[in-house]
Amino acid sequence: MNTTKESPHGTNRKTATGVGGLFTPKSITTRREKMNTDRRTAIIVGVLFLLGFAGVLMFPVLGNTLNPPDYLTKISAHQGQVLIAALLQLIMAFACAGIAIGLYPILKKHNESLALGAVGFRIIENVFQIVAALGLLLLLTLSQEYVKADALAAPAFQTVGASLLAVKFWAPMLAGIGFCLGALMYYYVFYQSKLIPRWLSGWGLIAITLHLVAVFFAMFGQIDAFSGSPILLLSAPIFFQELTLAGWLIVKGFNPSAIPSRAAKTATNELLSAA
């Protein structure tokens, strides 16, 4: 809107300040800083998505090390591989929690409840992934003691080993449920808000649902959780979707027109109130 001010020489001059002062130099600078922050957030989240794939590398690193019946001997013989696998799982755990935490400031402007829910479920995923990594490290310690023990102690080691293998199985399953529920929440907000293209967020919704089905099948013993081709088939779409999403966020970022401006909202509300 235009405001009229009296000049020192007695003439009137008009100053264009825009709605609610949105076009002042200060407001333009603030808007640019906010856009730069959102761009940095998109890049960071994109990198975290890529780091989240560290867990996928864990399976070829471990190979058949955890397969019975002689897994305790094999774990001890492949100490380096086990340590690398545990490290990869920890990297994945913290990267996945960081994704939802990094997205929260952006998503809360569209749906704060779902944004907070996504953070909660992905932190749950983080906790169970850490438990799985610790289970792997405990198996390593157990196997080192097992190879030094006499034959009479072998049954006790086998019992403890079986318990740790169960932890190593169930913790990633529960982490998978946390991952799927958290991802469903932020993909839904993505789809509604158009922060990313709808084809990409829609792909995410379908792919994460298929992955959740695969997790439940694995939990109830319908398919092999680690090497069954059905789980690979059901999980492949989310693998490629998140890889694509990571590239999109790093290269393109969020759709700036879909990020609501607090200043614009305030100005609009003031204008409507004055009308």
Distance from C-alpha of 91 to C-alpha of 93, rounded to nearest angstrom: 5
Distance between CA atoms of 54 and 169, rounded to whole angstroms?
18
pLDDT in the model for residue 262: 46
- Give me the mean pLDDT over the 19-44 stretch: 68
Measure the CA–CA gap between 29 and 31, rounded to whole angstroms.
5
Query: Residue 10: is its pLDDT beyond 50?
Result: no
Q: Has residue 136 been placed in a domain?
A: yes
Assess contact for 195 and 256: CB atoms under 8 A. no
pLDDT above 90 covers what percent of the chain?
58
Whether residue 268 is contained in a domain is answered as: no
The answer to whether 31 and 263 are in contact (CB under 8 A) is yes
Q: Is-contact 129 178, C-beta < 8 A?
A: no
| Residue 36 confidence (pLDDT) above 90 | no
Give the pLDDT mean for 181-187. 97
Residue 33 lies in a domain: no
Residue-number span of the structural domain to which 150 is assigned: 58-251
Sign of CA dihedral 104, 246, 212, 172: negative
Q: How far apart are CA 187 and CA 54, in angstroms?
A: 22
Evaluate if residue 118 carries a pLDDT over 90. Answer: yes
- Mutual angle of helices 229-251 and 25-51, in 10-degree steps: 150
Is 15 a domain residue? no
Q: Which residue has the higher pLDDT, 235 or 230?
A: 235
Q: Which residues pair with 2 in a beta bridge?
A: 16
DSSP code for 194: T
pLDDT at position 75 is 92
Answer yes or no: is pLDDT of 7 > 50: no
**Higher per-residue pLDDT: 196 or 17:** 196
Say if 128 falls within a structural domain. yes
In sequence order, what are the beta bridge partners of 3?
15
Number of domains in the chain: 1
| Residue 31 counted as domain residue | no
pLDDT in tens, 165-182: 999 889 999 999 999 999
Cα–Cα separations (whole angstroms), residue 248 to 21, 26, 40, 96, 196 = 34, 31, 13, 17, 8
CB atoms under 10 Å from CB of 41, counted, come to 18
- pLDDT band, very low/low/confident/very high, at 223 (cuts 50, 70, 90): low
Domain annotation covers residue 127: yes
Q: Is position 20 within any domain?
A: no
| Strand, coil or helix: 1 | coil
Indicate the pTM of the whole model: 0.80
